[in-house]
């Protein structure tokens, strides 16, 4: 059903609809099929509901308080941007609603309404954890301990191990058919192991004396990364058209969206039947795997990629990481047995 077919105060909320009447502090999910007798009965009851008393402890006030908090101000710019996106969604549906009235079932409904995009669904729950924790600290909600209603909602399980690394045959064909700019992006992603969002922002000034200095947009972490010989050699042949390494024809910086579209077009032109499914972010996984294959331990890999914990490395290193550690462990056992025989 399109937005025009919905009655006043009713808005689409993923696969359901929601009745939102901010002047009366109303925000309620409607599970009935729009247009059905049950829907109209529910709708009329909501219309006749008495006006709620204005509250200075609603989500609108909570969100404004959180934005002014030290906890929010300390977040990295990328994280702030992500929080704004999901908090805006919560603000739209629960702006006039009091956090004290939120129950675990409400947050679960919010998650399930977005479950077809599991990352977004989980992020909404995680943002609710943050907001309700701030509500507890500010006295908007009461309770003992550190748990809030949002802590009771289990996160949806990831359906895969994340972005897949590019297979060798896909990489070889891409290197042959890629445009000059797409190939440059590819080499930077592989060589630095950084996220594409940081790669498109690299300036020539960030690369000096064979070292790449970066402050990651997502984590705000500062890294000092020596260039690989392959990347240094490749960059030596790249013409400098502007301050940024990746530019348009006139030397101006380019957007992530522009680069993503160019990468998609290159993969669409490839003969490999599955080329389209490998995304640019997967190259970060390739870099992680190459570091492990080179004999690096977790701390060495983290020093290059900037991963904050071993759990993320498990996702990125995956099977390769397990095999290498298992091989090292069994070799250690073999050496121990050999030493026993020698005594």
Query: Based on the domain organization, do 178 and 316 belong to the same domain?
Result: yes
pTM: 0.64
In a domain, 337, yes or no: no
Give the Cα separation of 207 and 194 in Å (integer): 14
Query: Based on the domain organization, do 302 and 176 belong to the same domain?
Result: yes
| Domains held by the chain: number | 2
Query: Based on the domain organization, do 190 and 138 belong to the same domain?
Result: no
In a domain, 332, yes or no: no
Q: List beta partners, residue 224.
A: 213
Sorting pLDDT into bands at 50, 70 and 90, what band is 145? low
Q: Find tokens 């829907």 and name the residue.
A: 39
In a domain, 147, yes or no: yes
Grouping H, G, I as helix, E, B as strand and the rest as coil, residue 337 is helix
What burial class does residue 128 get, using C-beta atoms within 10 Å of its C-beta: 0-12 exposed, 13-18 middle, 19+ buried? buried
CA contacts within 13 A on the Cβ side of 120? 14
Which of 107, 122, 152 delimits the end of a domain? 152
Pair 110, 94: CB distance under 8 Å: no
Q: What is the distance in angstroms between the CA of the first residue and the CA of the last residue of the chain?
A: 81
Query: Based on the domain organization, do 198 and 250 belong to the same domain?
Result: yes
Which of 125, 152, 179 delimits the end of a domain? 152
In a domain, 339, yes or no: no
In a domain, 157, yes or no: no
Tell me the residue range of the domain where 33 lies.
Answer: 3-152
Read off the pLDDT of residues 63-115 as tens digits, 9 standing for 90 and up.
Answer: 999 999 999 998 888 888 899 999 999 998 888 888 988 999 999 999 998 88
Query: Based on the domain organization, do 145 and 190 belong to the same domain?
Result: no
Sorting pLDDT into bands at 50, 70 and 90, what band is 13? confident
Query: Based on the domain organization, do 147 and 193 belong to the same domain?
Result: no
CATH number at residue 287: 1.10.443.10
Give the Cα separation of 300 and 15 in Å (integer): 45
Read off the pLDDT of residues 154-177 as tens digits, 9 standing for 90 and up.
Answer: 988 766 555 789 999 999 999 999
Query: Based on the domain organization, do 81 and 112 belong to the same domain?
Result: yes
């Amino acid at each position: 059903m399109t937005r025009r077919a919905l009655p006043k105060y009713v808005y689409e909320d993923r696969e359901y609809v929601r009745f939102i009447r901010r002047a009366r502090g109303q925000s309620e999910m409607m599970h009935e099929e729009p247009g059905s007798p049950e829907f109209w009965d529910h709708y009329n009851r909501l219309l006749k509901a008495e006006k709620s008393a204005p509250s200075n402890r609603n989500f609108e006030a909570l969100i404004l308080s959180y934005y002014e908090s030290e906890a929010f101000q300390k977040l990295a710019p990328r994280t702030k941007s992500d929080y704004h996106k999901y908090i805006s969604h919560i603000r739209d549906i629960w702006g006039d609603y009091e956090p004290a009235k939120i129950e675990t079932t409400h947050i679960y409904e919010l998650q399930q309404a977005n479950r077809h995009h599991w990352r977004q669904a989980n992020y909404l729950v995680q943002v609710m954890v943050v907001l309700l924790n701030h509500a507890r600290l500010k006295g908007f909600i009461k309770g003992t301990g550190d748990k809030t209603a949002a802590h009771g909602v289990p996160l949806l399980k990831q359906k895969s191990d994340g972005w897949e690394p590019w297979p060798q045959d896909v990489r070889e064909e891409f290197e042959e058919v890629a445009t000059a700019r797409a190939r440059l992006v590819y080499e930077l992603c592989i060589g630095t192991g950084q996220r594409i969002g940081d790669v498109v922002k690299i300036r020539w000034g960030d690369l000096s004396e064979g070292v790449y200095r970066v402050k990651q947009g997502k984590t705000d972490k500062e890294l000092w990364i020596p260039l690989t010989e392959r990347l240094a050699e490749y960059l030596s042949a790249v013409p400098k058209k502007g301050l940024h390494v990746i530019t348009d024809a006139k030397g101006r910086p380019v957007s992530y969206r522009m680069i993503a579209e160019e990468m998609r077009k290159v993969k669409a032109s490839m003969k490999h039947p599955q080329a389209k499914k490998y995304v640019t972010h997967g190259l970060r996984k390739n870099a992680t795997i190459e570091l492990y294959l080179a004999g690096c331990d977790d701390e060495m890999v983290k020093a290059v990629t900037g991963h904050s914990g071993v759990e993320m490395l498990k996702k990125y290193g995956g099977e390769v990481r397990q095999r290498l550690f298992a091989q090292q462990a069994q070799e250690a056992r073999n050496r121990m047995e050999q030493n026993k025989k020698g005594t």
